[in-house]
Amino acid sequence: MAIGPVEYIVVGFPENQFDGTIIPALADLVEKGLVRILDLMFIAKDVEGNVIGFEYEDIPGEVAGLAELEGEAGSLLSEEDIEVVAEELEPGSSAALLVWEDVWASPFQEAVRRCGGELLAGGRVPAVVIEAALAAVDG
């Protein structure tokens, strides 16, 4: 099975403000076949600096839509991944570490491979940077 480009993101929640609001948006991407969740881990650091990490199906309490979120979560992320994210977290905050396949990009990636091409560079530009650049151009 061909797999599209895979990427990860870390979304931080200062003061543990995660309330599940992002779940419907993520579920919509999955339902539309745009992404496939390969792993999703939540990481929290309490005010004393203790760290806990758990897969999304093990999240304590009921967060709307989380149990229904389809994916193949599990086993890609390690304790080391948790530690790396936790180093950046302030005490009393949390983060979601998400690994997904960009299913939408798979046909393009296959076309690049068929013609002998290879990815030389890539990156993600934060939305706030683009918004500021566009405002400066329009402004």
- pLDDT tens for the chain, residues 1 to 139: 678 889 999 999 998 888 878 888 988 999 999 999 998 889 999 999 999 988 766 665 555 455 556 666 567 898 999 999 999 999 999 999 999 999 999 999 999 999 999 889 888 888 999 999 999 998 7
Contact (Cβ atoms closer than 8 angstroms) between residue 55 and residue 97: no
CA–CA distance, 79 with 53 (Å, rounded to integer): 8
- The pTM of this model reads 0.78
Contact (Cβ atoms closer than 8 angstroms) between residue 97 and residue 13: no
In the three-class reduction of DSSP (H, G, I as helix; E, B as strand; rest coil), residue 118 is classed as coil
- pLDDT on residue 56: 66
CA–CA distance, 127 with 38 (Å, rounded to integer): 24
